[in-house]
Amino acid sequence: MKDSLQVGVKHRLTEQVTEALSPPHLKPIVVLSTPNMILLMEMASLGAAQPHLDDHETTVGTHVNVSHESAARQGDTVIVDSELIEINRRRLTFAVRVSVGDRLIGEGTHQRAVIDRSAFAT
């Protein structure tokens, strides 16, 4: 890990809600599914951490504790924010939040572990 990996590191991504992000059992309604909301939270957290890791390192998700508060509908642009709030050796904890404008879609915490990529080599 680089010295630049510090509490307060942030990353934001945006994504438009499409049918690909919607649960198939709700068709024809198109909304952001909970699993896809969590995926976006994970991707934002990875985006916060990765620039501050050594070339042989990455992170893997280890824990998710989030709530899904309201629907993001087809065509909505969701804003996904992740902020590193704790570093405990190789365990990183992020505060994550998904919103559409001022409306909260989901929030909580997500933990990732810093790993050596070679540990997954065959």
Residues contacting 55, CB < 8 A, separation 6+: none
Q: State the pLDDT at residue 119.
A: 80
CATH homologous superfamily of domain 10-120?
A: Hotdog Thioesterase (3.10.129.10)
SS3 of the chain: the string is CCCCCCCCCEEEEEEECCHHHCCHHHCCCCECCHHHHHHHHHHHHHHHHHHHCCCCEEEEEEEEEEEECCCCECCCEEEEEEEEEEEECCEEEEEEEEEECCEEEEEEEEEEEEEEHHHHCC
Phi, psi at residue 81, to the nearest 5°? Answer: -115, 140
Regions in the chain scoring below 50 on pLDDT: none
Spatial separation of the C-alpha atoms in residues 113 and 75, rounded to whole Å: 33
- Domain range list for the chain: 10-120
CA–CA distance, 83 with 27 (Å, rounded to integer): 34
Instruction: Please indicate, yes or no, whether the overall pTM of this predicted structure exceeds 0.75.
Output: yes
pLDDT for residue 120: 76
The confidence score (pLDDT) of residue 91 equals: 98
Residue 122 has a pLDDT of: 63
pLDDT at 35: 97
Residue 104: the pLDDT is 98
Q: For residue 118, what pLDDT is reported?
A: 85
